[in-house]
Amino acid sequence: MVQKPIEYRDASPAVRAVFDDIKTSRKVEDVNNFWKYLAHDAVTLKRTWDSVKEVMAPGALDPLTKEMIYLAVSVSNGCGYCIASHTAAARKAGMTDAMFGEVMAVTGMANETNRLANGYRVPIDPAFDR
Amino acid sequence: MVQKPIEYRDASPAVRAVFDDIKTSRKVEDVNNFWKYLAHDAVTLKRTWDSVKEVMAPGALDPLTKEMIYLAVSVSNGCGYCIASHTAAARKAGMTDAMFGEVMAVTGMANETNRLANGYRVPIDPAFDR
Amino acid sequence: MVQKPIEYRDASPAVRAVFDDIKTSRKVEDVNNFWKYLAHDAVTLKRTWDSVKEVMAPGALDPLTKEMIYLAVSVSNGCGYCIASHTAAARKAGMTDAMFGEVMAVTGMANETNRLANGYRVPIDPAFDR
Amino acid sequence: MVQKPIEYRDASPAVRAVFDDIKTSRKVEDVNNFWKYLAHDAVTLKRTWDSVKEVMAPGALDPLTKEMIYLAVSVSNGCGYCIASHTAAARKAGMTDAMFGEVMAVTGMANETNRLANGYRVPIDPAFDR
Amino acid sequence: MVQKPIEYRDASPAVRAVFDDIKTSRKVEDVNNFWKYLAHDAVTLKRTWDSVKEVMAPGALDPLTKEMIYLAVSVSNGCGYCIASHTAAARKAGMTDAMFGEVMAVTGMANETNRLANGYRVPIDPAFDR
Amino acid sequence: MVQKPIEYRDASPAVRAVFDDIKTSRKVEDVNNFWKYLAHDAVTLKRTWDSVKEVMAPGALDPLTKEMIYLAVSVSNGCGYCIASHTAAARKAGMTDAMFGEVMAVTGMANETNRLANGYRVPIDPAFDR
């Protein structure tokens, strides 16, 4: 009943094409478990990879900033796999120990003040709506 | 039963001291509603302001990066007040329209893949635990 | 397309029976909007009211403590209606301004440390599993 | 300090009555861990089982559709136990691999667009409020 | 500072192309606010529409089932805009009042038992991992 | 890449000072893993401990009530570490089995009705805004 990862050797041509693109784009030997599990649905695999590649490409924000935002959201949502994988990805993109500590500090603080704002039922300042 | 904002003229000396520090630190004429509501609890007001000031100070990350992370978390949590106030704060710190678009795109994508990882019950790659 | 509240005069006998029990149990003239909207589904209305009545009855915890826990969860989830209604209910059960402030402070702090524990991937201490 | 599951042989008559009803209703040899842990509170055990039985019974929606909705919510909330148990339950009710893939795809997409709507502060179209 | 919706007449050719495709695919006169706000980022607009169109197309699940899952997730996340828009979409796809009531009942119950499973720290049954 | 806990013998003077204060305040031999991991960021360690100490001190609410609220929020957020540690802390502060059961019951019910209020789009009663 539990799904198993799909390895390259067992993958369909459609899945292999995505795996090949991930390996080339990221310059890695093999894809992460996330992609091997998504491979059970070749349509979702391709759409998700194409979207991630587009979203995480350098643009107005550099890849490190994007990875730290990805990590902050994953921490806030409590996704264990995503915290592990995006901590690794952010480290690879240049996140230092000090940067990691500050991402955690900001994420923690935001989660605290989000609830204080909810609980005190604070109305939006007119200046923010201009 | 609903609490009202506490204005400077009606505030206790302890609250005024925090308001003064916010105004000086941020170079603003008046504090936002968030602080005027928290002012009902002078202890929480002071602790929260001191913490926010410490966390958001320039360090390994610059203030703009910190504000964009704060915004991403607030968007992910769906805190209406915080989305409005931290969009404004990030704009003030230099967030352009293009940057805003990319923060939203990364936040959206992280929320999607967080759930795909949950649903497919993806185990953490050994490489991430080293 | 938007559902309207169902008032007592327009309600079915099954819905009126629940409304009557709410009014008697809580010693109120009329039921809150929550029940008037749930009244569109008489089965869910009855099950929800019976469950709430059972859960919120005095037991090992007094009604005030239960209402403050209900409020803390609602604040954490960001449910606007529930924050308003359970702040009112907790006030009615005896929550003072100082208690409200402390519920908010604990809720905020828990939300912060929950994310710090997630982000630092802290393993559970063996002592907690004994 | 950690609670242990309560097995049938060690259960009180009140707990056994619920276990018997679960086994008969679901045509299973034994109840899942969820019920064995809830058995520490016989009142919550009975209320929860009665509610689940009522909610999940065939009605305007068939059991498979209900199980897929249950799974989608559990994935969105990141409840590991519930993802495992409701994937199993949905499979038993007829969910195919293709259906599972589509439940995940919709759940992922909803989580993404929920945040885009939050972040862009999109106002509700008047047409939705009619 | 607050973004305004982008109407067709003011839209770039890239945005108009997406708007045209939405209007044709959904047989509607105009697009919803969601798309008019996303239009500030033509790349995210196109990626999101292409993804939603692919995910929500009839497949192993029919459009009504998909819309009800979308609604259940949006309710669970508390996204006000998404609840309004996907209630409307599900209604259009054939959701009756009775079906709506059952989607809400299942969503509510899943949110309750997700937390009971968390709180009682229920371990996954070996049968679910086979 | 994965961070290790920092033990007292390997800690900097700043970290040791916090550890000493935790041990004295809580009358324990050693600090929990949470603090040993946070020790990677001495500034966040100190701020978090000072805040927790202030927030959890007896005030208008007693320590047991505060711990149960902390537990309810942690359960609602699905933070595995926090559920384990705050169950232990609440037990130490006097939470009985019956109290634990009621905290879980209230937390579960709040999560359910929070979503029913969201889904039925219940407007806030004017009485709650007075």
Nearest to D113 by CA among A62, C11, B85, E38: E38
Give the burial class of E84: count Cβ atoms within 10 A of its Cβ; 0-12 exposed, 13-18 middle, 19 or more buried: buried
Least confident among C86-90, D36-40, E119-123, F125-129: F125-129
Integer distance in angstroms from the first to the last C-alpha of chain E? 53
Residue with tokens 């805009």: E81
- Binned at pLDDT 50, 70 and 90, residue C34 comes out as very high
Interface of D with A (CB under 8 A): 78, 87-88, 91, 97, 101, 104-105, 108
Q: pLDDT averaged over chain A?
A: 97
Contacts of D107 in chain B (CB under 8 A): 115, 119
pLDDT greater than 70 at residue B1: no
Contacts of F126 (CB under 8 A, 6+ apart): none
User: What letter would DSSP give residue A57?
Assistant: S
What is the average pLDDT across A14-18?
98
Give the residue from chain B lying closest to C95, CA to CA: B1
For residues B55-73, average pLDDT = 98
Q: Do B129 and F54 touch (CB under 8 A)?
A: no
pLDDT band at C92 (very low <50, low <70, confident <90, very high): very high
Residues of D within 8 A of E66 (CB-CB) are 102, 106
Cβ-Cβ contacts under 8 Å, C86 against chain F: 110
Residues 6+ apart with CB under 8 A from B123: A33, A81
| pLDDT confidence of residue C60 | 98
Size of interface D-F (CB pairs under 8 A): 19
Q: Please report the ipTM that was assigned to this predicted complex.
A: 0.97
CB contact under 8 A, E83 and F118: yes
Across the range E12-36, mean pLDDT stands at: 97
Residue of C nearest to F101 (CA): C60
Considering CB atoms only, which of B55, B68, B79 is closest to A118? B79
**How many whole angstroms from its chain centre is CA E106?**
17
Instruction: Flag whether pLDDT at E130 surpasses 90.
Output: no
pTM over cut 0.95: yes
Task: Calculate ∠ Cα E56-E58-E60, nearest 5°.
Answer: 110
> How far is it, in rounded angstroms, from Cα A87 to Cα A75?
10
pLDDT value of residue A97: 97
pLDDT at E1: 57
Return the half-sphere exposure (C-beta side, CA atoms, 13 A cut-off) of residue A26: 19
What's the whole-number mean pLDDT along residues B9-38?
98
Mean pLDDT throughout A44-63?
Answer: 98
Mean pLDDT value of segment F23-45 = 97
Taking each helix axis from N to C end, the angle separating D80-92 and D97-119, rounded to the nearest 10 degrees, works out to 140
Q: Which of E129, A100, E33 is nearest to F44 (CA)?
A: A100
- Give the DSSP per-residue string, F24-82: HHHT-SS--HHHHHHTTSHHHHHHHHHHHHHHHSSSSS-HHHHHHHHHHHHHHHT-HHH
Return the pLDDT at C1: 56
E78, E91, E101 ranked by CB distance to C78: nearest: E78
3-state secondary structure of A93: coil
Given this model, what pLDDT does residue C130 score? 76
Alpha-carbon separation of residue B13 from B9, B40, B43 (angstroms) = 10, 13, 12
How confident is residue F2, by pLDDT bands cut at 50, 70 and 90? confident
Q: Residue E3 — very low, low, confident or very high, per pLDDT cuts 50/70/90?
A: confident
Report how far residue A46's alpha carbon sits from residue A19's, in angstroms, rounded to the nearest whole number: 9
What average pLDDT does range D110-124 have in this prediction?
Answer: 98
Size of interface A-B (CB pairs under 8 A): 195
pLDDT score for A7: 98
- At residue D129, the pLDDT reads 84
Question: Which helix (DSSP H) or strand (DSSP E) does residue C2 occupy?
Answer: none
Residues of C in contact with F93 (CB under 8 A): none
Mark yes or no for CB contact D2/C129 under 8 Å.
yes
8 Å CB contact between B99 and B67: no
Residue identified by tokens 């990364």 is B106
Cβ-Cβ contacts under 8 Å for B57 (sequence gap 6 or more): B63
**Which of C1, C40, C79 comes nearest E101 by C-beta?**
C40
Report CA-CA distances (Å) from E31 to D118, D126, E15, E20, F112.
18, 13, 12, 9, 33
The pLDDT of F35-61, averaged and rounded, is 98
Closest by Cβ to A32, choosing from B2, B88, B125: B125
Among D53, D81, D52, D86, which residue's Cα sits nearest to residue D69? D86
Interatomic CA distance for residues A15 and A7, integer angstroms: 10
Give the model confidence (pLDDT) of F58-104 as tens digits. 999 999 999 999 999 999 999 999 999 999 999 999 999 999 999 99
Q: Which residue has the tokens 């990626």?
A: E47
